[in-house]
Amino acid sequence: MSAASAPAVGAAVGMPHPFRMPSGTSLRFALLILSTSTAMAAQLGGSVGTAAYFGLGGDIGSLTGGLTCAAGHIRDTATEPGKFARTCPQPGLGHETVLELAALATLWLAVGVVYWLLPAYRIRRRRLRPLPVDGLADIRRTLDELVAVAELRCRVCFVVDWRAQQPSGLAFGRVGRRQVMLSAGLLRLHRQDPEAFRAIVLHELAHLRNRDVDIAFVTLICYRLFIVAVAIPVAVTAPFALLVGWLLVPSGGLALFQLLQILAQCALAATVAVTSTAVLRSRELYADARVAVWTGGASSLRRVLAARHGRQPVGHRLPPFLRPHPPAEKRLAALGDTRLLFGFGPWEAFGLALTCSLVYERIAQWTEEAARLTGRGNPLTAVLPSVVLGGGVAMGIWHAVLAARLNRGRWQGAHRTGLAMAAGLVVGTFGDRLQSTALVLGVADSLPVQLSWWLILGAVGYGFVRWNAATARVWAPVVLAGRRPLLLVGGGCAVGVALLSICLAHVYAAGIPGFQLLSLPRPLNLFPTPLDFLGYVYSTAFILTPPQWVIALIVVTVGFPLAARLGARLSARRRAGAPAAGPERFLLQAVSAEDAAALLAPPRLRSSAALGHGVVFGAAAGLGLWLWHLFCALVVPWPIAWVGTVFPVYQLALAVLLQLAVGFVVAWRHARGELRALHGILGTLGAGLVVPLAAITARDHFACVRWGTGHAACRVVPDVAFAVSATPLVMAWTAGLAVLLIPVWTALRDRGRRRVAPM
């Protein structure tokens, strides 16, 4: 057994191996790159665009006049963009997309130059000198042994900081030239405590093995460049921008626009600051874990950390989330419990969702111009934001769920993470330029419409987290048994990204400012505005879309998690024919055959039973509907006659409600199942095979019994063509509602049962 695969001493059975899955450092680093790029592109692009406007002859008067004209004519010309452009020609700020992309390219060019020059600057600034060749033979021999233990593929140059008297080390450098700094105090420690010397040096070599030196350098460069190029200019110019906005538009609209943009920049600044320190803390924990794997427990490193823990200062310190290094007690805890390395919680999801919501409008504009798209709501406009948002969140969820599975448990953070992602998407809309501009022009949606839109946007974020958590849980045995587990994880993330791009494209298109409510017939027009808006969004996403596409979307949403059982059977056959490494390769210790079989056991899925129960309960509901119509036809006809007068196709709405009721009943009956929400959706689809037909024929039967076979509404022989065309529509509409409602209900039920269980 090689040193790299040696199990950690004292690790509990089921403790996940920290280097068999992608690290949490990479996920947080991706969030940092996204938030920094967004802030820099927006800030520099806006500044360059404004400078270009004034440089080409623009003035304050034309800008104010354009805003005033737009505020007065936007409502009258909202449906005719050409007429609005002719009535109120707006001053141009240059080619905004080109300027923003140029600013983004300039940013990363500056980062690359600083990255390449920073190691040499650090060596000169700290006056580092190469480790002497003569006189330190014992130290050089120890260093050669440690480099061999680390199995590094790069050449390492050791340098010394003769002025530093405390024992410390630092791994730095650039691609092709890696260096490790040893302090003078650390060299003395080699004679006083050789094991402590080995632990500290191995920790620095672990950074090289983990390939996080470049991540640390880019993190520090991005953070400091962000402070200089964004944070300080915004802090200096914010009061002036608010004053100018108030003077130009005394009503306060422009000042409100400036305030929202400043708040958006502050939100990005907080995200960059918190994420930068989170990246640095995460890399330290993973370096400790690498030392533990190399040395079989890292007993010397534990002793060093315990000594540092006792010498920590008690005075004023930064909050934990702003410290670049984790506290000694956190490092000690992570050495004993590797599950702490696989955490993915609400803050990461909130940061990703906030940043993507802020940048969505810009990226959608870039995509539209590049792909020559003309209409909003196209899923292609949401692909790039969904890849960043959905890919990051989905990978983090799979990361946490797989680690929980290895420990025979469940990931408990799904509810909180879903709420955090929903909150991030909603909060990010406050910095959206379309929404801010609508406030300035006075054409923003009313508060009820805004609340409805935020509700739908939050539901998309929450549902995405819950779907990925359920999918990762049922596919976990297949991933643990697969020869290429990352391909399966990547496939699951790709399916989630595709679903998210479709949902976000429709939801963001519905949130365009200036939404005009649909004119509904009486008495439906008496409903509150939020119901009108929700009905509009639902009709746009599900009713106006061909039902075949909606059903295909539902089948993918439900079918992909349910296909895990088939995947588990195929993987079991492959393992029986050609045995390969099982789940023990993901653990720090070997497990027994019984434990391995338990980890690879597929979850209990009853998809056929759920579909059958949906058909049976749907038939029972259809029979009850028939009997009710018969009773009304013979005894009290006014309820159906009145509803039929106001809403002629009420039977379709009634079929939708009955199908949803059947779906909730099926989900309740499968309360102990692994995927009861998906079981409920399958029950809804099963009921959709019979309930719409029963509702249509029951209405026809009522007319025949009540008014006779000669009545125009009577159909003695069912209208098969209408039933065949209406059934897929009703099934698609209802399945779309079930995908939104049933998972939320099951999640709340789960939380309620967990709270009651300890009593």
For the stretch 730-742, pLDDT in tens is 887 787 778 778 8
Whether residue 55 has pLDDT greater than 60: no
Place of tokens 């009503």: 251
Mean pLDDT calculated for residue range 509-519: 62
Do residues 728 and 691 make contact, with C-beta atoms less than 8 angstroms apart?
Answer: no
Do residues 393 and 468 make contact, with C-beta atoms less than 8 angstroms apart?
Answer: yes
Distance from C-alpha of 429 to C-alpha of 437, rounded to nearest angstrom: 12
Distance from C-alpha of 723 to C-alpha of 246, rounded to nearest angstrom: 61
Tens digit of pLDDT for each residue in 702-727? 778 777 776 766 776 666 667 677 77
Query: Which tops the pLDDT comparison, 526 or 599?
Result: 599
Q: Which residues contact 266 (CB under 8 A, 6 or more apart)?
A: 234
Residue 78 pLDDT grade (very low, low, confident, very high; cuts 50, 70, 90): very low
Q: Shortest CA distance to 464 belongs to which of 411, 393, 359? A: 393
Please give the pLDDT value at position 545: 64
Burial class from Cβ neighbours inside 10 Å (0-12, 13-18, 19+) for residue 203 reads buried
Query: Which tops the pLDDT comparison, 659 or 559?
Result: 659
Helix 485-510 to helix 447-481 angle (10° resolution) is 170
Distance from C-alpha of 27 to C-alpha of 38, rounded to nearest angstrom: 17
DSSP for residue 16: B
Query: Which tops the pLDDT comparison, 316 or 637?
Result: 637
Residue 755 pLDDT grade (very low, low, confident, very high; cuts 50, 70, 90): low
Measured CA to CA in angstroms, residue 132 lies from 158, 258, 394, 745 at distances of: 9, 59, 49, 68
Query: Each residue of 473-483: b (16+ CB within 10 Å) or e?
Result: bbbbbbbbbbe
Mean pLDDT calculated for residue range 305-331: 71
Tens digit of pLDDT for each residue in 299-311? 888 888 887 765 5
Longest dimension (CA), the chain: 113
Q: Which residues contact 744 (CB under 8 A, 6 or more apart)?
A: 459, 462, 463, 466
DSSP for residue 542: I
Measured CA to CA in angstroms, residue 600 lies from 195, 481, 510, 569 at distances of: 40, 7, 44, 10
Tens digit of pLDDT for each residue in 385-434? 788 778 888 888 888 888 888 877 778 888 888 899 998 888 888 777 67
Whether residue 2 has pLDDT greater than 50: no
Distance from C-alpha of 36 to C-alpha of 32, rounded to nearest angstrom: 6
Please give the pLDDT value at position 205: 92
Do residues 707 and 713 make contact, with C-beta atoms less than 8 angstroms apart?
Answer: yes
Please give the pLDDT value at position 616: 92
What dihedral do alpha carbons 486, 491, 493, 494 form, nearest 10°?
A: 140
Do residues 726 and 672 make contact, with C-beta atoms less than 8 angstroms apart?
Answer: no
Which segment, 218-227, 247-256, 646-655, 723-732, is predicted with the most confidence on average? Answer: 218-227
**385: amino acid identity, one letter:** P
SS3 of 94-133:
CCHHHHHHHHHHHHHHHHHHHHHHHHHHHHHHCCCEECCC
Q: Which residues contact 251 (CB under 8 A, 6 or more apart)?
A: none
Tens digit of pLDDT for each residue in 519-554? 555 555 544 455 566 666 666 665 666 666 777 777
Place of tokens 């199990």: 7
**Cis peptide upstream of residue 579 (ω within 30 degrees of 0):** no
Mean pLDDT calculated for residue range 241-260: 63
Please give the pLDDT value at position 4: 37
Please give the pLDDT value at position 3: 37
Please give the pLDDT value at position 617: 92
Name the 3-class secondary structure at 177. Answer: strand
Residue 8 pLDDT grade (very low, low, confident, very high; cuts 50, 70, 90): very low
Name the 3-class secondary structure at 90. Answer: coil
Tens digit of pLDDT for each residue in 687-707? 888 888 888 888 777 778 777
Please give the pLDDT value at position 1: 33
Percent above pLDDT 70 for the chain: 73
Q: Shortest CA distance to 108 belongs to which of 36, 26, 42, 213? A: 36
Distance from C-alpha of 438 to C-alpha of 357, rounded to nearest angstrom: 17
Instruction: Tell me the two tokens of residue 687.
Output: 């009921």
Percent above pLDDT 90 for the chain: 3
Do residues 279 and 29 make contact, with C-beta atoms less than 8 angstroms apart?
Answer: yes
Q: Which domains does the chain have, with CATH numbers?
A: 111-215 (3.30.2010.10), 343-556 (no CATH), 604-756 (no CATH)
Query: For strand 129-130 and strand 156-161, is the pairing parallel, antiparallel, or unpaired?
Result: antiparallel
Rg (CA), the chain: 31
Q: Residue 648: phi, psi to the nearest 5?
A: -60, -30
Mean pLDDT calculated for residue range 14-42: 76
DSSP for residue 130: E
Residue 491 pLDDT grade (very low, low, confident, very high; cuts 50, 70, 90): confident
**753: amino acid identity, one letter:** R
Whether residue 631 has pLDDT greater than 50: yes
Q: Residue 166: phi, psi to the nearest 5?
A: -85, 145
Q: What's the length of the chain? A: 759
Tens digit of pLDDT for each residue in 425-484? 888 887 776 776 666 666 667 677 777 788 888 888 888 888 888 888 888 888 888 777
Distance from C-alpha of 432 to C-alpha of 308, rounded to nearest angstrom: 46
Distance from C-alpha of 375 to C-alpha of 697, rounded to nearest angstrom: 40
Average pLDDT along the chain: 76
Order the strands of the 169-174 sheet from edge to edge: 129-130, 156-161, 177-183, 169-174
Of 421-425, 566-570, 661-665, the least confident: 566-570
Neighbours of 112 (CB within 10 A): 12
Do residues 219 and 276 make contact, with C-beta atoms less than 8 angstroms apart?
Answer: yes
Do residues 654 and 534 make contact, with C-beta atoms less than 8 angstroms apart?
Answer: no
Please give the pLDDT value at position 331: 85
Q: Shortest CA distance to 292 belongs to which of 595, 591, 589, 599? A: 589
Which segment, 368-372, 573-577, 683-687, is predicted with the most confidence on average? Answer: 683-687
Do residues 322 and 277 make contact, with C-beta atoms less than 8 angstroms apart?
Answer: yes
Q: Shortest CA distance to 205 belongs to which of 123, 293, 122? A: 293
